[in-house]
Structure 1
Amino acid sequence: MARNNYSIGLLLIGIAVILLLGKLGVFAALGAFLWPVFVLLPGLVFHFLYFSRIVPVGVLVPGGILITYSLMFFYCNLFGWDSMVYLWPGFIFGVAVGLYELHIFSARSSKGAFTAAMVLSIISGVFFAFTFMFTVGVYFIAFVLIAVGLWLMMSRRRSW
């Protein structure tokens, strides 16, 4: 009987600790930060199932997309969701990653998947470049102009 009381007491203490942690917001904070794991896990499961030879190569497309998106979501959780202003072309790039994996691991490597992956990668890269230029590019251009101006001032004799 004493062993049974010990187990029940331990169970009650465990429940109380879980309730207190929940009331203090520990689980809410973890859930708010770690929810992209629920996007990452299916992508990893798709890859595991393919490499275990259980499912066909087609599951690598959604697997690559989900893994890419989950990395973007983790980044936004760390550095703020205003980062999505810069990262939105990553949604296009995620599809390119999935199609490229399909091309790489397919026994019948089709040129269509490779072509689509490259086109989407280029489009994503162009959008990343435009986003960079319109947001941070002004600072980069100003820095380059200052550097070139200093170089011109230091490399030539003064002929005012």
Structure 2
Amino acid sequence: MNRNQGKIVIGMIVAGLIILLGKLGFFSFVGHAFWPLLILLPGIMLQLFYFSRSIPSYLLVPAGILTVYGVLFFLCNTWGWWLMDYLWPLLITGIALGLYEYYAMSPFRVDGRIGIAAILLGLLSAVLLLISILGSALLYIIAILLVVSVGWIFFTQNGYKRPRL
């Protein structure tokens, strides 16, 4: 058997293995389980390329967005898409992170409004995530805090004197 025949045999074995794995559902499982990596890996790669100084800093915006979205989709794909009912504010976090990375890491002077917008988006995302996770329990927490704070104000005023028994 010459060299070319050996390569043909190896190619046929590899093709047969690929067809067999496809028929057994391996590629379907891998595609279903790991598709969020198609979003996560470009985000990580963009960040690595920036830190190796081979791409401009404005590409940190999509890098942050893709990284957060990839992690979020990977979590939901692994543990169930019902998590998106509670974790949807993290979509805003991706935008906030991308903008903040651009603002903080850019070697050029970047408009400060970008940093402020990133921080405000991050705070909005945190508040919405808290509301999303706590749901109706948040109303009870607010009510208890209001009662306690009014009571504290009422009983700590200088003019208030306790009645004698």
TM-score with structure 2 setting the length: 0.76
Residue segments in structure 1 that go unaligned for 5+ positions in a row: 142-160
**2:97 is matched by which residue type in structure 1?**
V
Q: What is the match of residue 155 of structure 1?
A: none
Give the CA deviation at 1:62.
Answer: 0.7
* Aligned residue runs from structure 1 range 139-158, under 5 A: none
Going by fraction, where is helix more abundant, 1 or 2? 1
Counterparts of 2:10 and 2:66, CA distance in 1: 40
The total of aligned residue pairs comes to 139
Is the counterpart of residue 9 in structure 1 residue 22 in structure 2?
no
1:61-99 CA deviation, whole Å, 9 max, x = no partner?
110000000000110111011111111001101000001
* Aligned residue runs from structure 1 range 7-156, under 5 A: 7-107=7-107, 108-134=109-135, 137=137
Counterparts of 1:2 and 1:65, CA distance in 2: 53
**SS at 2:135's partner residue?**
helix
The structure with more radius of gyration: 2
Counterparts of 1:13 and 1:87, CA distance in 2: 45
**1:127 is matched by which residue type in structure 2?**
L
Give the CA deviation at 1:49.
Answer: 2.7
Percentage of identical aligned residues: 42
**Root mean square deviation of aligned Cα:** 2.1
- Greater shift, 64-73 or 9-18, is seen at 9-18
**1:27 is matched by which residue type in structure 2?**
F
1:106-154 CA deviation, whole Å, 9 max, x = no partner?
231432121111110111111111111117x48xx8xxxxxxxxxxxxx
- Greater shift, 57-66 or 10-19, is seen at 10-19
**SS at 1:53's partner residue?**
coil
Counterparts of 2:65 and 2:114, CA distance in 1: 14
Counterparts of 1:91 and 1:4, CA distance in 2: 53
TM-score with structure 1 setting the length: 0.78
